[in-house]
Structure 1
Amino acid sequence: MSSIETSYIVTAVVGIVLGFGIFLAVRFLLPRRLKATYEAQREMIVQKAKERQGQLVQEAKKRADEKLQQMTEELEVTLEEERLSLESLENDYALQEQFAEHEEERIQKLESSIQVHQKKISDLEESLTAQNDEKVSILVEKQSRLAQIADCDVQTTKQNISDTVLNDRRLDSQKRIKELVDDLESHSKKGAERVLSRILSRYQPTFVWPKSVNHVEIQNPRLFEAIAAESSTLIQDLGQLSEGVELTLSPAEHEGMPSVIRLGGGYGIYKEAVRLTLEEVLPRGPSQWGRIERVYQKHRQAIEIQAAKLGRQAVNELKLNNIHEEIQKMVGALNWRTSYRQNQFHHSVEVSRLAGLLASEMGVDPQIAKRCGLLHDIGKGIDYRIEGSHAVISGDYADRFGEKRIVCDTVMSHHNDLVLDTPLSFVLKSADTLSGARPGARINLEEGYQERLHAMEEAIKTFSGIQKVAIMNGGREVHIGVNHKRIREEDLQDFCAAIARKIEEDVAFPGQIKVLVTRRFEATAVA
């Protein structure tokens, strides 16, 4: 080992010993010094806190003194204001007392004045009462003398004056009402003519009205003899199958003309089925007459299918919705029903179209109007087996199959069986009249028409007590006036029913006839 290394080691050992000594000195001396420093700092902080405490106390005391001084001043000001207000109220009270005293004096003076005036008024009333009594007595005396002179009492004179004034006013009112009615009728007529002119210009029917055939010709005389034979039941069998269709065998009226089987009454479909059955079975001879039931049912079913198809076709063409299938069948069945030779199916469709046009012109719902027009005569197809007006039957069946009340009532009203003053009712009546009155629509032979009217009048005049007879509406209505002395009021309904039965027995007529009997009592005096 060299000397240099030895010196290094010695130096290191010496350094370590010195460092350890310094460490021990610092360890024992430093805490004592720090403790003394901390003590000095604590005393200084405590001293400063005490000085700060004194300052804060002085400041708080000063602020409290200032606040107390301010509150004292405010209280003094408030007290002064209250004192002044109290003095003002005392002054006002004194003034009000003075005013009350003055008012009391004035009221006393007014009461005294009122008493004086009341006494004057009482005196005047007594004076006026006495004068009025005197005037009344004078007036009564003068009226009595005037009545004696004129030979007429006061009440009669008043009544005469009142009647004269009322009659004059009534006459003026009647004249004014007549002027207004005439003016209204004139304007209404012109308006109606314009509406009808527009309707007729818009409506141009294109269909051809079919002609109904209600008979079957028998060309072979031997065939006629076979049908007319007592052993033949062809006519009776078809009558039973068709449920009400009347078959009449008529011989040839002139040489060279065929014999015929005439068909009348009953349901239109059944009558057409009978006609087709006869046309198919008769040429085949009596040997085939035993199968008429099967042939009849075949034609009847085919026509019923055709009727349903016609009803659907009409509904679709008119663009109507929710019409029951039974109603559609009844509409289609009108194709085999005529009135004055007018086909009722085409009539119903035409009335529906016209009603829609009229309704659009008059501001009424066109769909409801067309519905009423299509359904208005469906009762004609079944009126042979239901008693009553076809209009009532139509409305009843429409109601039965779900139509609205307004539709049913309007249908019932188109022949006034139900009185209904609505725009829709007048639209339907007008459309029905236009379709029936159109030239060529209906055929009413003048000779037969006059004969029917004459027969109706003769049947009515067989009853006693008849004063006058008026046949109206093309023979559909009869108005009868009876003598009130001969016919009692409680017998009127039975009397009317008896006349209707007599007309049914003695007169042949299409459709129905309404009988109206009027019993009127009148008293006449001449002044």
Structure 2
Amino acid sequence: MTAHSLLPLLTGLLGLTLGIIGGWLLSNRLGARALTRAREEAQRLLDDAAVQAENLRKLELARAREQFELERQAAEDDYQKRFEAVKNIERAMNRRDAHLQQVDRELAKRRSELDEVEKKLQEGFDEVARQEEKARELHAEYLARIERVAGLSAEEAKRQLVSNYKSEAEHEAAALIRQIKEDAQRTAEMEAQKIITLAIERVAADQVVERTTTQYRLQDENIKGRLIGHEGRNIKFFEEQTGMQLLINNDDPNTVVISGFNPISREVARQSLERLIQAGKIHPRKIQEVVAKVKKKVQREIVIAGEEAFKTLGLEQAHPEIVKLVGKLKYRTSYGQNVLNHSIEVAELCGNMAAELGLDVDLARRAGLLHDIGKAIDVEREGTHPELGGEAGRQYGEHEVVVNAIESHHEDVEVIHPISILVAVCDAISGSRPGARRASLTDYLRRIETLEAIVNSFEGVEQSFAIQAGREVRVIVKTDQVRDDRLPFLTSEMTKKIQEEMDFPGRIRVTLIREMRAVEYAG
């Protein structure tokens, strides 16, 4: 190969080498610049990230401070509410303590009065003992004196001495017993009258006697025909649906009498009859529709009446069945007195008396309200209303004191708590108020006859007269058979027998009269 042929090759190799070297140098230069730009871009991104992180940190810090402030404010509000609640509880406890202190003072005062009465009774007993000792001394003196008297045997002297001693002791004991009894009775009556008066003053009885409507006056003769229906179809279907009997008085054909023993069914029949007559359409399908609606309406009224009774007295609601029983009393009457109104009145009296005596007011009111719930059951089941009411109270979780008050308010079971006595007393007060109840003439005459028969059964009674509707009996005794010093003993025996053999509200006063006449003629 010649030099001329190698020259282009060498030139090409040299150019390639120079190109490679130039490319390498250019590439290094460009890479350094890119690296510098990348570093600058990375630094910028880091600076931006740092700024954003700082901003985010400040934002989160502000949010945290705001959340902390909200939680702090909520905690302060909660603390303030709890503080106020504690203050209210403290004030309530202070009021309760003040009330308890007042009750303690009243109890201390009454204990003092009772101690005074007990002291007087003890003094009376001591006086009786002294009189007995004096009688024994007189007995010894009389015995010695009689023994010195000639003509008397020991037995005769003994009989005379016993007779004198017995007469004198009976006279002195009767006088002393009468005095002690009058003092104790006067003190007890004053306290009882005070408590009863305060209780009655707080009770406003808006309604005394309420009568269940059992008659409906027809304004049109045609209505009677539609009510009876073809061959009596409508009236028979009405009686089947309501369980009541419709009677048309021959003396007054425009009056329909609803007859039946169940007061709630009687009310359903009354309202249904009223709606049917107002609608003017009377046929079996309409009767069935109206009676069904009225039954639902009466059931709602029963629940509302029961709830209102508890709400009126400020008592906690009871088991729904107890509430229904109380509501049913709205349709029950006892001697013309509405039983629900009577129960509310008894509850208010019990609450007022319990407050005076330092007993549980709410428990007393509850017992008073529920004492007659058995009357809502006795038309459906056999048994006395105290017995049935006690079973219902026990079944639906009422307090044992309430159950005992229900069962014992007619003395059927033994009393276990003073509230039970209060219920019996308030029941008698509510039932014996003038005008509260309507008794039949037959019951009145039977009570008068029984009262006179009881006092006439005692030896020495000449005549007796029951007056003031049987609340007092005046007894005339035979002068030759009953001495003056026997009157207190005889009166006590009569009152005991009346209490044992008669059931009556309030009290019966027994007055014995012993008349002494001296007649002389002049001239």
1:435 aligns with 2:430: yes
Equivalent residue number for residue 503 of structure 1: none
Matching residue within 378, 396, 401 for 2:396? 401
Deviations 1:350-376 (A, max 9, x none): 211111001111222212211111011
Instruction: Determine the C-alpha separation between the residues in 1 that align with 2:373 and 2:289.
Output: 28
Pick from 361, 367, 388: which aligns with 2:356? 361
Calculate the TM-score normalised by the size of structure 2.
0.50
Q: Tell me if the contact between 2:371 and 2:406 (Cα under 8 Å) persists in the aligned partners.
A: yes
Matched residue type, 1:214: T
1:289 corresponds to which letter in structure 2?
P
1:223 aligns with 2:219: no
What's the CA shift string for 1:88-142, capped at 9, x where partnerless? Answer: xxxxxxxxxxxxxxxxxxxxxxxxxxxxxxxxxxxxxxxxxxxxxxxxxxxxxxx
Task: Answer yes or no: is 1:449 the counterpart of 2:440.
Answer: yes
Q: Structure 1: which 5+ runs fail to align?
A: 1-142, 461-465, 476-512, 516-527
Between the aligned partners of 2:181 and 2:457, the Cα distance in structure 1 is: 32
Give secondary structure in 2 for the equivalent of 1:248.
Answer: strand
Q: Work out whether residues 248 and 262 of structure 1, in 8 Å CA contact, stay in contact via their aligned partners in 2.
A: yes
SS of 1:415 mapped into structure 2: coil
2:181 aligned counterpart, secondary structure: helix
- CA 1:297–1:369: 2 relative to 1, 3 Å: same
For residues 454 and 176 of structure 1, the distance between their equivalents in structure 2, rounded to whole angstroms, comes to 38
In structure 2, what is the Cα distance between the partners aligned to 1:263 and 1:451?
24
Structure 1 pair 216–473 and aligned structure 2 pair: CA distance change class (3 A):
farther
Checking the alignment, whether the CA contact within 8 Å between 2:198 and 2:352 is kept in structure 1 is no
What corresponds to 1:13 in structure 2?
A: none
* Equivalent residue in structure 2 for 1:345, among 312, 325, 340: 340
* 1:312 counterpart = 2:311: no
Cα deviation, residue 172, structure 1: 4.1
Change (3 A) 1:189 1:303: same
- Ranges in structure 2 where 5+ consecutive residues have no aligned partner: 1-143, 451-455, 459-463, 471-501, 505-523
Q: 1:386 to 1:151 in 2, by over 3 A?
A: farther
Q: Does the CA-based 8 Å contact 1:349-1:373 persist in structure 2?
A: yes
Tell me which of the two structures has the higher relative contact order, counting C-alpha pairs closer than 8 angstroms and 6 or more residues apart.
2
Change (3 A) 1:174 1:259: same
After superposition, the C-alpha distances for 1:22-58 in whole angstroms (9 at most, x for unaligned) are xxxxxxxxxxxxxxxxxxxxxxxxxxxxxxxxxxxxx
Q: Specify the alignment match of 2:376 in structure 1.
A: 381
* 3-state SS in 2 of match to 1:319: coil
Q: How does 1:403-422 map to 2 (within 5 A)?
A: 403-418=398-413, 420=415
Asked if 2 retains the 8 angstrom alpha-carbon contact of 1:453 and 1:471, the reply is no
Distance 1:470 1:450, change over 3 A: farther
Question: What is the aligned residue count?
Answer: 320
Code of the aligned partner of 2:441:
Q
SS in 2 for 1:232: helix
Mark the CA change 1:385 to 1:171 in structure 2 (over 3 Å): closer, same or farther: farther
Aligned match of 1:271 in 266, 271, 275? 266
1:3-22 correspondence runs (5 A): none
The aligned counterpart of 1:34 is none
Computed over aligned residues only, the root mean square deviation of the Cα atoms, in angstroms, reads 4.4
1:238 deviates by 4.0
Alignment partner, residue 247 of structure 2: 248
The CA distance in 2 between the partners of 1:397 and 1:473, in whole Å, is: 39
Q: 1:52-84, CA deviations, whole angstroms, 9 ceiling, x for partnerless residues?
A: xxxxxxxxxxxxxxxxxxxxxxxxxxxxxxxxx
- 1:183 and 2:178 are equivalent in the alignment: no
| Alpha-carbon offset, residue 427 of structure 1 | 2.0
1:222-274 CA deviation, whole Å, 9 max, x = no partner? 3324555782144444444445x454322453xxxx62222344333222111
Distance change in 2, residues 1:159/1:396 (3 Å):
farther
Which TM-score applies when normalising by structure 1?
Answer: 0.50
Quote the Cα distance in structure 1 between the aligned partners of 2:222 and 2:442.
36
Is the CA contact (8 Å cut-off) linking 2:234 and 2:282 kept in structure 1? Answer: no
